[in-house]
Copies of this chain bind each other. A is one copy, B any other.
Amino acid sequence: MSGQIETFSIEFNIPFFTGKETKYIKDAVKNAKISGNGLYTQKCQSFFEEKYGFKKCLLTSSCTDALEMAAILCDIKPGDEVIAPSYTFVSTVNAFILRGAKVVFCDSRSDHPGIDESKIESLITEKTKAIVVVHYAGVACDMDLVMDLANRNDIFVVEDAAQAIDNYYTGKDGIQKPLGAIGHLATFSFHETKNIISGEGGMLVVNDERFVKRAEIIWEKGTNRSAFFKGEVDKYGWVDIGSSFLPSEIIAAFLYAQLENLDKIQDKRKAIWNHYKEELGSLEQAGKIRLAYIPSFSTNNAHMFYLICKSMEERDDLIAYLKSEGIMAVFHYLSLHSSPYYKDKHDDRKLVNSDLYSNCLVRLPFYFKLSMNDQIKIQNAIKNFFMKN
């Protein structure tokens, strides 16, 4: 994780606003309903349920909160094990650790920073309760492999789809499914760095019918308030653990303005992504770098464009060079298995691909309003750097 505070002539990320966000917020204010689970929350949830066939969606204050709901729904108890990639954001695993889980970290694929599905089976024990896969850069994990493992071992699958809005996986049967619709549970992020944003924000997707009722209770602070509003009980009370996972209607109103523009946003992002891929392809062909890769079973939601250098030194030099050219490029996660918090808790397995991406991956500026001129500047700067190296 990195987070420079200087200003650049080309920033790494600039949030995009459709222009209707404050209009809808004003409308929520006018309706005098700004606490959670109002009209705009329901509009957003319905949008996802209808467009992607998710069984039940619940907006949350963050993807972290959605992951915490998932951990509670999986009934994680102290001593349970959860398998997750090491190359991910801390929230992927913190949510499970807060419930007492031991996290067993899995390496990344050699061709892509996503979890190496072929290594999961050897990590499963009698204590394994859940597998959390992360669709890194929005790119699908090989969900057939993951779901097959989970089903054979009676384990829950949580898709951390924080970056994976509007992306699809094609299984061996040739059927294309939206990411977030495959695992028992899935989580999305609307943090300002994502394709669709609400500042902070997230969503839990419940695909397994067994979880729906409890999810609503946990979302409403462990009360059966949802059942009360549906007229199923005559007063509501405390029936379970839970938290205040639901966001303000102000956030939901903002989000809805973004969702209305999903196609427009995605089209523009895909154009930017493709341009990077085409223009930097020659460097990849020359063996200088590896570029963002999309396996054949995944479509591309253009969340991020990254490249992989040959060493940490080269990567750091590239970031420094781009900075000298006014361009902000950033590295990404640091392997969680060797973090200050977890290094003494991790077994002694080396996770070489995770470390490789920690050391050698760099993300390029990527946002809706990135101009063609700026993109050409970035590409030329990268070409210049590798001509000299």
Contact = CB atoms under 8 A, between A and B. Distances in A.
Contacts of A32: 14-15
A21 interface: yes
A246 interface: yes
Given A242-B94, A248-B201, A221 B5 contact: no
Given A229-B5, A238-B339, A241-B98, A197 B91 contact: no
A251 interface: yes
Given A15-B32, A35-B192, A65-B243, A90 B1 contact: no
A247 B35 contact: no
Contacts of A201: 248
A81 interface: no
Given A35-B193, A91-B221, A200 B246 contact: yes
A341 B238 contact: yes
Contacts of A192: 33-35
A200 B245 CA distance: 10
A250 B242 contact: no
A251 B22 CA distance: 12
A284 to B, nearest CB: 27
A239 B64 CA distance: 17
Nearest to A19: B29
A85 interface: no
Interface residues of A, number: 69
This protein's copies in its complex: 2
A26 interface: yes
Contact of A29 (B21, B247, B341): B21
Contacts of A29: 15, 17, 21-22
A248 to B, nearest CB: 3
B34 A199 contact: yes
Contacts of A287: none
Interface of A: 1-3, 5, 14-15, 17, 21-22, 25-26, 29, 32-36, 61-65, 68, 78, 89-91, 94-95, 97-98, 100, 191-193, 197-201, 221-223, 225, 228-229, 235-244, 246-251, 254, 334, 336, 339-342
Q: 6 closest pairs, A vs B, by CB?
A: A199-B248, A34-B199, A64-B244, A238-B339, A62-B244, A61-B61
